[in-house]
Structure 1
Amino acid sequence: MRPNTLAEAVDRICAGAPQDTTLAEFLDAFELVGTGLAQYEAIADEPVLTRNERLDALVGAIAEYLAKQRRLGRVPAWVCDPARRLAEPWFTASSPSDAMREYLTFASPAEFASRNIFTEERPLRRARGPQTAKV
């Protein structure tokens, strides 16, 4: 069962669920809710701080990015917590070259870069296959 809220996704990660899979499942659930209000409710509750600085900053970036990209009209206040920002830069590509670091520095959306997270320009995109009609 997919986590319906970002806070629920973080709880599952803290309980041992794989981070990448759990966040992807949350994004899928977020995309499936019908209204902007329901989408806002999926990010409104503050996830617990995990003591994993990267995860704590990442969920702040995800919530702010989703709120702005989906034009939800507001961003949850909890994303402004200083604990949701990294002191040192994090380049999400594994072993990035100098050229890749430069690219990520300029390509990263503001919601991520402002937290010292440097990633691709569309960090939350999900692969979608063709949908087949159910008979």
Structure 2
Amino acid sequence: MNIEQICGVEAGMRLLIYTIFFTLFFPIICSSEVNSQESKPNVDLHAKLSVTGEVKKPGRIKYQKDLTVLQAIALAGGSTANADMTHVTLLRNGKKWRYDLTNPAHQRLKLYAGDGVIVAAKPK
């Protein structure tokens, strides 16, 4: 006696069952593994963030765990003489927030990979 006779399932039917199973459940299994890794911080070792505006070396810098907005500006060469540190914009997930970096609490603001920091120019 073989498996088909015991289970009453022919080879063609078994193939159909496997196809349906993998079509329905394999994407769910794979996506849950991907999502669990995406939720972990600092997975991407090549992650970057951008610092632009009134900084000496505007551009992208390497993301580091626990990097603050003030440290990111320092990594971008520091602010220029024309920088208005009371008007620094953080871009995160398509939203904008303004911070006054003369406020010590705002200086400790943590950044994440993909963030953008824009240092405004002093008003004329």
Q: TM-score, normalised by structure 1?
A: 0.22
Larger Cα Rg: Structure 1 or Structure 2? 2
Larger helix percent: 1
In terms of fraction of residues, the more strand-rich structure is 2
Structure scoring higher RCO (CA < 8 A, sep ≥ 6) equals: 2
TM-score (normalised: structure 2)? 0.23
